[in-house]
Amino acid sequence: MEKRKGREVVVSALQFSCTDDVAANLATAERLVRASHKKGSNIILIQELFEGYYFCQAQREDFFQRAKPYKDHPYNSEYAKTGKRAGCSYTS
């Protein structure tokens, strides 16, 4: 049986403070993804709800508007393109 050559996998997990400034949070995420890839990561895990502050500590009806669909979410497709260009995979 032929021995298969393995592939090195380097995983980064990102965790950062977020605010209500979605553009700033997305810029931070992209900067950290690029920095992680530059340091050798080929799988990058981004924290959940990185578009804004973490609102899931209490179930309040006024927070429901912050929920976004996963399928067809514009940031998911954009970051998939970013990951492909950088040669890495990411998930949030």
One DSSP character per residue, 43-79 reads EEEEPTTTTS---TTS--GGGGGG---STT-HHHHHH
Q: How much is the average pLDDT of 51-55?
A: 77
Helices 74-86 and 22-38, axial angle in degrees (round to 10): 20
* Per-residue confidence (pLDDT) for residue 48, from 0 to 100: 82
Q: How much is the average pLDDT of 19-42?
A: 90
- Residue 91 pLDDT class (50, 70, 90 cuts): low
Burial status of residue 87 (CB atoms within 10 A of its CB: 0-12, 13-18, 19 or more): exposed
* Per-residue confidence (pLDDT) for residue 47, from 0 to 100: 86
Across the chain, mean pLDDT equals 80
Local structure of residue 70 (DSSP, 8 states): S
What are the residue ranges spanned by the domains of the chain? 11-91
* Per-residue confidence (pLDDT) for residue 1, from 0 to 100: 66
Amino acid at 49: L
pTM for this prediction: 0.72
* Per-residue confidence (pLDDT) for residue 90, from 0 to 100: 63
Assign 3-state DSSP to the chain and report helix, strand, coil percentages, each to 5.
Answer: 40, 10, 50
* Per-residue confidence (pLDDT) for residue 10, from 0 to 100: 92
